[in-house]
Amino acid sequence: MPEKTARGGITACEPPFLRELENLGVRVREEIYTFDNAEKISIFQRVRQVRKTAAKFRRILRSESFDLLHINTSFETKSILRDAFSLVWLKRAGAKIFLKFHGSDLELLEKANFALSFLIRRLVKNADGIGLLSSEEKRGFVNFGFAKEKFFVVKNALTIFPQESFPPVENFSAEKPFRLIFVSRLISTKGLLETVRAVSILRTEGFDVVLDVLGDGETRAAAQSSAESLQIGEFVNFHGHVGEKKVQEFYRKSDLLVFPTFHIEGFPMVIFNALQFGLPVVTTRIRAAADYLKEGENALFCEAKNPASVAEKITELINNKDLRDRMKANNRALAGEFTAEKIAPEYLEIYRKIIG
C-alpha cells in the first residue's frame, strides 16, 4: 500500500477491499510499499529507499507463511524502475506476486528505449499475475506479445453510502443554475481547461451554468486565469482540495459530473464515486469508463481536448430531463456492482488461479 497520507484512488479503494478479504477468512498483512515523498529526494536516496523496502518485504515473506504478495503500483517509468528491481529480490522469497496497476501508460510498450523495454519484460516475467483496471489495458499488453493468461481485468472497491443517510436535496429547476462538478488532481491531462472553456461556450449560448472545481494541482492557476480571461470567473468556483465528507456534499448538490480526461486512467474513482449519488456523467470513452458506462444510459461520451464537444453533451443533458432521470436511476444501481462485498470474491478467484 502507499502511505496513508498519499492522495489518489488507492488509499480510498483498497482499505474496504482489505477488510472484506479478512471477512472472507483471508489473513492479510498490510505494509507500505509506495512512499509519499513530500519533498524531492535525490536518485541515490530513492534507490536506498527502494532497496530497503524490498529487503524488508523479503524478510517478511521468508519469516512468515504467505501465499501471495499483492503490490499496488502503476505502469509508468518510475514505477517500472522500482518494481523491476524489487521483484528480482522478492521472487526468491517464495510467495507468488500479484501486481495491480492503478493506471498504465501503454505508449511505453512501443516507445521505451532498449533498457526500459528490457525492464518491462523482466517485470512482467517475474510477476505471477497482473491486475489491470480496464480491458483496453489488457488488449494493449496482449497485442504487444505478452501472454493473456497473466493479465486479469479487475475493479476498484467503492465505499457506498446509504441514500437514506443524506438529507433531501431540491431537484433541478430551470430557475436555478445548472451545477456542474469537476473533481480531480488538477493536471492538464484531466481536462479541466477544456471544462472551463465549455462553461464559457454554454454561458455564451444562454445557459445558466456554474462549475465547482474540487482539487488542487499545477493546472489550477492556468484554469483560473482562463476563467477570468473568458469573463466567467464568477461562475467557476475553485475550492481546492477538500475532505471526503465535503466532496459528498458537493456531489449531492450537483446536477452533472464533467470529466473529459485524456490521462492514463485505469479506473477513475471520481466517475464511479459520482454514480452512487445519481449524477449523470460527461466523460471520454477511456479505460474503465468504456467498460462499464453505456452511452445514453450512464453517461454521454465527449471527445478529448474538445471544449465544444464537452459543451454539446452538457447541453443535451440540460435539455433532456428524462435522460437525466434515467441516468440517475441507472448510475445508482451500477454503483452497487463495485462494493467490496462484490469484488473481493472476484480477487480471491484470481489469487487461487495464481497460487495454483
Same domain, 61 and 187: no
CA dihedral 30, 33, 38, 39 (to 10 degrees): 150
Q: Which pLDDT score is estimated for 172?
A: 42
Average pLDDT, the chain: 90
Residue 326 lies in a domain: yes
* Arithmetic mean of pLDDT, 203-223: 96
Residue 323 lies in a domain: yes
Same domain, 149 and 186: no
Q: Is the pTM of this model over 0.75?
A: yes
Same domain, 193 and 178: yes
Q: Which pLDDT score is estimated for 250?
A: 93
For 167, other C-beta atoms within 10 Å of its C-beta total 6
Residue 1 lies in a domain: no
Same domain, 333 and 343: no
Same domain, 16 and 151: yes
CA–CA gap between residue 39 and residue 34 (Å, rounded): 15
Residue 3 lies in a domain: no
Query: How do residues 268-308 score in pLDDT, each as one tens digit?
Result: 889 999 999 999 999 999 899 999 999 999 999 999 999 99
Q: How far is CA 205 from CA 2, 166, 208, 315, in A?
A: 45, 34, 9, 10
Q: Which pLDDT score is estimated for 167?
A: 47
User: Domain range for residue 247?
Assistant: 163-337
pLDDT-derived band at 339 (thresholds 50, 70, 90) equals very high
Same domain, 188 and 144: no
Residue 200 lies in a domain: yes
Query: How do residues 141-160 score in pLDDT, each as one tens digit?
Result: 999 999 999 999 999 998 87
CA neighbours closer than 13 Å in the CB half-sphere of residue 131? 24
pLDDT-derived band at 39 (thresholds 50, 70, 90) equals low
Q: How far is CA 268 from CA 50, 98, 214, in A?
A: 27, 21, 15
Residue 313 lies in a domain: yes
pLDDT-derived band at 228 (thresholds 50, 70, 90) equals very high
Same domain, 319 and 346: no
Instruction: Kindly tell me the burial class for residue 256, based on how many C-beta atoms sit within 10 Å of its own C-beta (0-12, 13-18, 19 or more).
Output: buried
Same domain, 41 and 152: yes
Residue 2 lies in a domain: no
Q: By three-state DSSP, how is residue 181 classified?
A: strand
CA–CA gap between residue 309 and residue 305 (Å, rounded): 9
Pull the grid cell for residue 81: 524502475
Same domain, 118 and 21: yes
Domain count, the chain: 2
Query: What residue spans of 2-155 are helical by DSSP H?
Result: 9-23, 43-63, 77-90, 107-111, 114-126, 135-143
Same domain, 246 and 301: yes
Supply the CATH number for residue 290's domain. 3.40.50.2000
Query: How do residues 155-204 score in pLDDT, each as one tens digit?
Result: 999 887 766 555 444 444 445 899 999 999 999 999 999 999 999 999 99
* Arithmetic mean of pLDDT, 120-140: 96
140 or 13: whose pLDDT is higher? 140
Residue 178 lies in a domain: yes
Same domain, 252 and 134: no
Same domain, 195 and 314: yes
